[in-house]
Amino acid sequence: MEREMNSRASSGPSYEVFLSFRGPDTRHGFTDCLYHGMVAAGILVFRDDESLRVGERIGGELLAAIEKSKIYIPIFSTNYASSHWCLGELAYVVECASKSNGNKEILPIFFDVEPVDVKLKTNLYRQNLSQIQKTFRTE
């Protein structure tokens, strides 16, 4: 994985910000507004405009964008944890940030959820994660 990470990171643009979000929850409202506001301020932002279909993996372009971003903004929303793609992105964001020696930051936004939901102290995310676990066990 380390070698793959380095080869992806060597090509393509670097980004100041990487947005991770659940499209149906926030794409055409909050995320669009945040994205366009940052772009208008001259910030180079990566926002995935493609929807992954069932069975697809997170592609190399998306992984490279994560690797080459300095700030990660996961937008935690009601259904964020119900998407194994969002969770896969988040896991890779955490991996990249933890290997950066403090050069990368994760700045979460809680949209219609509370931090306690994301920390699994309420049923909202706990139920979503439980459902994903059941799905993976049956595959």
CB 109 within 8 A of CB 76: yes
Taking only the tens place, the pLDDT of each residue in 126-137 is 877 777 666 655
User: Is residue 12 scored above 90 in pLDDT?
Assistant: no
Q: What is the CATH number of the domain that holds 53?
A: 3.40.50.10140
Query: Considering the entire predicted model, what is its pTM?
Result: 0.81
User: Is residue 5 scored above 50 in pLDDT?
Assistant: no
Query: How would you classify the pairing of strands 45-47 and 105-106?
Result: unpaired
In a domain, 103, yes or no: yes
In a domain, 124, yes or no: no
Catalytic residue among 16, 89, 95, 114: 89
139 a catalytic residue: no
Taking only the tens place, the pLDDT of each residue in 85-103 is 898 899 999 999 999 999 9
- Tell me the C-alpha distance between 94 and 71, whole Å: 11
Number of folded domains that form the chain: 1
Average pLDDT in the 9-36 region?
88
In a domain, 139, yes or no: no
**What DSSP line would sit under 92-106, residue for residue?**
HHHHHHHTTTTSSEE
State the residue range of the domain holding 24. 2-114
In a domain, 127, yes or no: no
In a domain, 128, yes or no: no
Count of helix runs (H) and strand runs (E) in the chain: 7, 5
